[in-house]
Chain A
Amino acid sequence: MLKFLAMGGYARYVWPCYVLTAAVVGLNIRWALRSLHSARAAARRRIAAVRAAS
């Protein structure tokens, strides 16, 4: 296990790459869901306002 983590002496270059990738992959999921949810919330507000006015 320690040998695996050492990555043949390249640990300080290899693991940051994987951590950065996990961060970008995770953040993109979060941003995409947030973007959809905010658009849906805005649409709901708009529809409610139209219905209240009519």
Chain B
Amino acid sequence: MAWVWFHRFGSPPHFYRLATRLTPWFAWPAALLCLAGLIGGLVLAPPDYQQGDGFRIIYVHAPAAWLSLMVYVVMATSAAVGLIWRMTVAYAVSASCAVIGASFTALALATGMLWGRPMWGTYWEWDPRLTSELLLLFLYLGYLGLRNSIDDVGRADRASAVLAIVGVVNVPIIHYSVIWWNSLHQAPSVMKFGRPTMPAAMLVPLLLMLAGFTAYFVALLLIRARGELLRRERNAHWTAEAAGATATG
């Protein structure tokens, strides 16, 4: 039974219609969650006892950093599914991730630098967490560059999939870097076992922002994947309907 679901999900016209229908169901909750998170984080949460109001950077820095990692895992996983099952939908999803992931990795680095300056006294340090996150940005850029250098979409999909899968080894390195090595960067305060090390008034807005950014990413991915599917299904009949071409031309 599970395979029936898998094959339906893998059918481009079915995925295209599903993606069209689902997009508002992620976009609107994303907007509401982020609005609530911003009010909670900027207005309602008390200042930190050490960092004062400077800690409020966390409400955009942590969601950006979370997306930088999650988007990469989605990109590498769908690339692997595409390679193994030769699934067009999976390749379309993988290719849709790169620009989103690269921009949020750059944002995580930039907001991290702006947070580091007042708290650590420096914008940049060749620290394990910062260096491995910079490497993630280069992986995204390498993936995009590789795709752009190959004209044939099918070949670009297969070549970039290998790069994405090899690069996934960097994801656990980034996540555990603050535990494995001495780092300027603080240890995780949400994604760890046991109780989070934050009071609820600070933690709840952060969770809202993390959920909001995740829903926002899904909405973006659904929009982009539809375009990528149209680029790959050049001769399929369903694309005429999906592209909005009328029956009479």
The answer to whether A31 touches B64, judged by C-beta atoms less than 8 angstroms apart, is no
Interface residues of B in 91-136 (CB under 8 A from A): 99-100, 103-104, 106-107, 110-111, 114-115, 117-118
Q: Counting chain B CB atoms within 10 Å of each CB, which of A25, A41, A44 scores highest?
A: A25
B56 contact set on A, CB distance < 8 A: 7, 10, 14
Taking the complex as formed, is B199 at the interface, i.e. its CB lies under 8 A from any CB of chain A? no
Chain B residues within 8 Å of chain A by Cβ, number? 40
- Count of inter-chain pairs, beta carbons less than 8 A: 105
- Complex interface bits, B209-243 against A, C-beta within 8 A gives 1, otherwise 0: 00000001000100110111011001000011011
Chain A residues within 8 Å of chain B by Cβ, number? 35
Chain A residues touching B, majority SS: helix
Taking the complex as formed, is B43 at the interface, i.e. its CB lies under 8 A from any CB of chain A? yes
Interface residues of A in 8-54 (CB under 8 A from B): 8-10, 13-14, 16-18, 20-21, 24-25, 27-29, 31-33, 35-44, 46-48, 51-52
A residues sitting closer than 8 Å to B (CB atoms) are 4, 7-10, 13-14, 16-18, 20-21, 24-25, 27-29, 31-33, 35-44, 46-48, 51-52
B residues sitting closer than 8 Å to A (CB atoms) are 42-43, 47, 52-54, 56-57, 60-61, 64, 99-100, 103-104, 106-107, 110-111, 114-115, 117-118, 216, 220, 223-224, 226-228, 230-231, 234, 239-240, 242-245, 249
